[in-house]
């Protein structure tokens, strides 16, 4: 039950409220560490994977790999911060930890960042899925989608109709599941598709290298082509790619052994480091300096033969289905946070069918309409990567350590927290300023 005191509701109300399933007397649907790994990995491997090769073009292969490791280690440190304070206090959610340390202001600030980040991510997913199925138009060039390439341009494979079908008949059945443990199979499929995408890129790159069609890789930045400030714009891409903090507590709440959460996060990080480096290296090897910010565009340009067209369609469809499987996991935390922010005194969301279904439909409708109205993902991508994602990943966990309401932070913890905050804030300010400068 939720506390009756409205001032403490945000501190104790979980992102994933506990509820009794009618099929089981247990208050939680317990999952294994493998299910936790799938769900955490799925929350990380989303839209950002397509931009990793472009960062290698800016950074070079060696700095790109080093930056992937630095971000992954920073994520491991900050997640450990959250889990340690979760084990030491009464709060069992990210919002609860912020409320313990900074009161109602902290929990509301966290919920707002989660809503902005997750809404932006879901809109990005639908935009990309729409591009794959129905095509888009960039820089005056029309790129046909898979359905339009197969059947020609028809009313039923237009962007609005194709996305409406996906939303109603593919995503909605997953969105009405009330336990994140129920999504572990969809998460497993999404990770498998991401691995398949990397495998196809690798095979194509090795085949091109065998035929001598690949370009020479740059191991370090070429400052004749890029400026020092360009390097800072790559961090938001990696930050968005490793963002998993808001999924940690919902997944932990359903683990048979909550102490396994640290291991699940470490395994997920290792898996994602391998995937990101592989797709970055082989994508850059395959397309060289012609690599686009969205690598799917490069595959679209690689369809001048029957085999090229088949590979193009396979890559794009597998990635679109991957995003369809990621969508429910990201939506899960979004829906719970919206409910906690706007209905703090209501019964837990999973037990109120009307509110659960209504909130699901309202959020899904909003995401669908915005994805139809705004065709470019990078407005959301750059904004989130330099603002709300940085707060959720680095600034908020480090602030909890520095606040140290339980008196358990060591001197090394506080030094790491300060370094993480300086890295996050400094990089974000430079990236935002440089992006504004380029637009002016």
The pLDDT tens digits for 156-195 are 878 889 999 999 999 999 998 888 778 878 888 888 888 8
More confident position, 404 or 153:
404
Contacts of residue 337, Cβ cutoff 8 Å, sequence gap at least 6: 15, 95, 111, 114, 115, 118, 246
User: pTM for the complete prediction?
Assistant: 0.79
Q: Please say whether the beta carbons of 239 and 420 come within 8 A.
A: no
Per-residue pLDDT band at 388 (split at 50, 70, 90): confident
Look at residue 369 in the predicted model and tell me its pLDDT: 92
Q: How confident is the model at residue 302 (pLDDT cuts 50, 70, 90)?
A: low
What is the rounded average pLDDT for all residues in the chain?
A: 80
Lowest-pLDDT range of 58-62, 78-82, 377-381, 389-393: 377-381
Asked if the model's pLDDT at residue 138 lies above 70, the reply is no
Per DSSP, what are the bridge partners of residue 292? none
- Average pLDDT of the residues in 273-281: 90
Between 61-88 and 52-59, two packed helices, what is the crossing angle to 10 degrees? 120
Write out pLDDT tens, residues 350-386. 788 889 999 999 999 999 998 888 766 655 555 666 6
Question: Band of the pLDDT at 308, cuts 50, 70, 90?
Answer: low
pLDDT for 66: 93
**Amino acid 367: pLDDT:** 92
The number of beta carbons lying within 10 Å of the beta carbon of residue 290 is 11
pLDDT of res. 120: 83
pLDDT at residue 330 above 50?
A: yes
Where do the domains of the chain lie, and which CATH numbers do they carry?
35-132+155-439 (1.20.1740.10)
| Cα–Cα dist 183/326, whole Å | 9
Residue 141 phi, psi dihedral angles, 5° rounding: -110, 130
pLDDT at residue number 47: 61
Is-contact 79 72, C-beta < 8 A?
A: no
Q: Residue 136 — pLDDT band, cuts 50, 70, 90? A: low
Mean pLDDT of 217-237: 80
């Amino acid at each position: 039950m939720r506390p009756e005191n409205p001032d403490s509701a945000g501190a104790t109300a979980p992102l994933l409220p506990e509820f009794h399933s009618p099929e089981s007397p247990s208050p939680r649907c317990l999952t294994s560490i493998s299910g936790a790994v799938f769900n955490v990995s799925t929350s990380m491997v989303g839209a950002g994977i397509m931009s990793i090769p472009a960062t290698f073009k800016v950074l070079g292969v060696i700095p790109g790999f080093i930056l992937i490791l630095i971000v992954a280690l920073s994520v491991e440190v900050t997640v450990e911060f959250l889990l340690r304070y979760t084990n030491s206090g009464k709060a069992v959610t990210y919002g609860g930890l912020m409320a313990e340390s900074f009161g109602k202001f902290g929990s509301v600030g966290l919920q707002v960042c989660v809503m902005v980040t997750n809404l932006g991510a879901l809109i990005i997913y639908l935009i990309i899925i729409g591009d794959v199925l129905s095509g888009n138009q960039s820089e005056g060039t029309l790129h046909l989608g898979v359905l339009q390439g197969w059947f020609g341009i028809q009313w039923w494979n237009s962007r609005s109709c194709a996305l409406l079908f996906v939303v109603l008949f593919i995503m909605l059945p997953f969105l009405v599941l009330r336990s994140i443990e129920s999504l572990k199979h969809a998460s497993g499929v999404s990770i498998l598709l991401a691995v398949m995408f990397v495998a196809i890129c690798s095979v194509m790159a090795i085949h091109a290298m065998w035929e001598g069609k690949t370009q020479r890789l740059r191991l370090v930045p070429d400052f004749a082509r890029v400026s020092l400030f360009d390097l800072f714009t790559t961090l938001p891409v990696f930050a968005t790619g490793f963002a998993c903090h808001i999924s940690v507590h919902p997944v932990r709440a359903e683990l048979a052994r909550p102490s396994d959460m640290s291991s699940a996060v470490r395994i997920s990080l290792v898996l994602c480091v391998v995937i990101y480096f592989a797709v970055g290296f082989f994508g850059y090897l395959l397309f060289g300096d012609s690599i686009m910010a969205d690598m799917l565009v490069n595959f679209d340009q690689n369809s001048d033969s029957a085999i090229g067209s088949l590979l193009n369609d396979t890559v794009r469809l597998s990635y679109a289905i991957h995003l369809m499987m990621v969508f429910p996991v990201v939506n899960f935390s979004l829906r719970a946070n919206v409910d906690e922010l706007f209905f703090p005194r209501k019964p837990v969301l999973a037990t109120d069918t009307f509110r659960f279904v209504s909130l699901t439909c309202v959020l899904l409708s909003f995401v669908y309409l915005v994805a139809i109205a705004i065709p470019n993902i990078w407005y959301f991508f750059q904004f989130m990567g330099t603002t709300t994602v940085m707060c959720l990943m680095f600034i908020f966990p480090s602030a909890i350590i520095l606040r140290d309401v339980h008196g358990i932070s060591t001197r090394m913890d506080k030094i790491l927290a300060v370094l993480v905050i300086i890295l996050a804030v400094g990089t974000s300010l430079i990236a935002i300023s440089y992006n504004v400068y380029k637009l002016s």
